[in-house]
Amino acid sequence: MPLELAIILPTLNERGNLAPLIQRIENALKPVMDDDGWEVLVVDDDSTDGTAEEARKLARTDRRVRIIQRIGRRGLSSAAIEGFCATAAPFAAVMDADHQHDPALLPEMLATLKADEADICVASRFAEGASTEGWEQPERERLSSLANRAARLITGVKMSDPMSGYFMLRTSRALELTPRLSGIGFKILFDLLATADATLRVRELPLKFAARREGESKLDRAILFDFLAGLYDRTLGRVIPTRFALFGTVGGLGVIVHYTVLTIMFTGMTATFWKAHTIAVLVAMSFNFWLNNWLTYRDKRLKGFGRLLSGWIGFCATCAVGGFANVAVATLLESQGVFWALAALAGILIGSVWNYALSSRFVWGRF
């Protein structure tokens, strides 16, 4: 039987979940498909727990398993895109590797697409008959519900769960849309729906969303920021790079911190302007490092005291020239009679582009 279906598994530290999941996929597809009719494509973001090596071990005895190990690239959406581009199967499914998505839905999804009853089949957590009892994360459920409402408004698709991470479509349709996908964040389905020129026909299947089998969830409260990043990319991303816009958003909050400290130091404590401005720069710089690490670069987030400390030092070092230019320009303008608040703003703008360029490459990027 020719290859028909590719199951794309974006992974990050899912070593112990792989073998049991592949067995569950085999059990689900065996009644409807020959063993050679499907493949599992593990797209691993250079996991630290040996997920890629586990996938290679499985592939040595099972030719249906393939592995793409990505170095220096992260993100579920971009992993799914690489999976679409790497398979020859005419149908492709995307699902999580943590066992929260039930492989038993795969045969019905495939049959629906083959019968041309839909352009895309989605496993919905909120359709009639679905269940999220195994999730046990009410805060995540509320965030997902809010994001779903926003996604329905943007895509124009009437469905219960446009933010689902478990779906199947024809590979040709995915490849058609791939050049225009943003690849940002973790909601590839939303990206596909928003990118399609014509509204896609969607069929939703109720999903009993299960508990993670083992390991830790990769999602946290910063997922809302990722969703906003996706919205931004769909609107203004071709004009201003999305990562820079996120960096600038964090910088905007840093400006508030900067002015707060400057106001206290300069007007409240009668410090000389250059001293007050320098202290404000250091405080805002530290705040920006923490928030950028948590939000803007959450896919490359530094963890652990040692890495955080070295990252903070590196951030301050790379931003030192921008900070110097910031203070110098602001001080010069203030000495020329420019109102101190406007002088400070000019300094901030001068330093921001420099700070983004260097910190992106040398703190969260690679040399």
Mean pLDDT of the chain: 81
* Highest mean pLDDT of the ranges 1-10, 72-81, 120-129, 225-234: 1-10
Please give the model's pTM, rounded to 2 decimal places.
0.71
| Cβ neighbours of 327 (radius 10 Å) | 21
Phi, psi of 91 (to 5 degrees): -125, 145
pLDDT of residue 86: 96
- Residues in contact with 290: Cβ distance below 8 Å, sequence separation at least 6, in sequence order: none
Q: Which two tokens stand for residue 92?
A: 């492709």
| Cβ neighbours of 282 (radius 10 Å) | 15
Lowest mean pLDDT across 14-23, 93-102, 135-144? 135-144
Higher pLDDT, 50 or 225: 50
pLDDT of residue 101: 92
Average pLDDT over residues 128-134: 74
Q: What is the DSSP string of 258-321?
A: HHHHHIIIIIIS---HHHHHHHHHHHHHHHHHHHIIIIITGGG---SHHHHHHHHHHHHHHTHH
- Domains of the chain (ranges plus CATH)? 5-236 (3.90.550.10), 242-362 (no CATH)
Average pLDDT over residues 119-130: 88
Lowest mean pLDDT across 8-22, 115-129, 209-223, 235-249? 209-223
Residues 300-309: tens digit of each pLDDT: 677 788 888 8
Average pLDDT over residues 285-290: 85
pLDDT of residue 280 exceeding 90? no
What is the SS3 string spanning 318-360? HCHHHHHHHHHHHHHHHHCCCCHHHHHHHHHHHHHHHHHHHHH
Question: Do residues 212 and 100 make contact, with C-beta atoms less than 8 angstroms apart?
Answer: yes
pLDDT of residue 284: 84
Higher pLDDT, 197 or 53: 53
Question: Which of 33, 152, 21, 153 has the alpha carbon at shortest distance from 95?
Answer: 21
Q: Which two tokens stand for residue 274?
A: 């250059």
* Highest mean pLDDT of the ranges 86-95, 194-203, 329-338: 86-95
Tell me what percent of the chain is helix, strand and coil, each rounded to the nearest 5.
55, 10, 30
> Whose structure tokens read 């992260």?
74
Output b/e per residue, 339-352; b: 16+ Cβ within 10 A: ebeebbbbbbebbb
How far apart are the C-alpha atoms of 142 and 144, rounded to whole Å?
5
pLDDT of residue 116: 95
Average pLDDT over residues 123-138: 74
Higher pLDDT, 335 or 295: 335
Question: Do residues 36 and 25 make contact, with C-beta atoms less than 8 angstroms apart?
Answer: no
pLDDT of residue 173 exceeding 90? yes
pLDDT of residue 279: 85
Instruction: List the beta bridge partners of residue 66.
Output: 41
- Distance between first and last Cα of the chain: 47
pLDDT of residue 152: 65
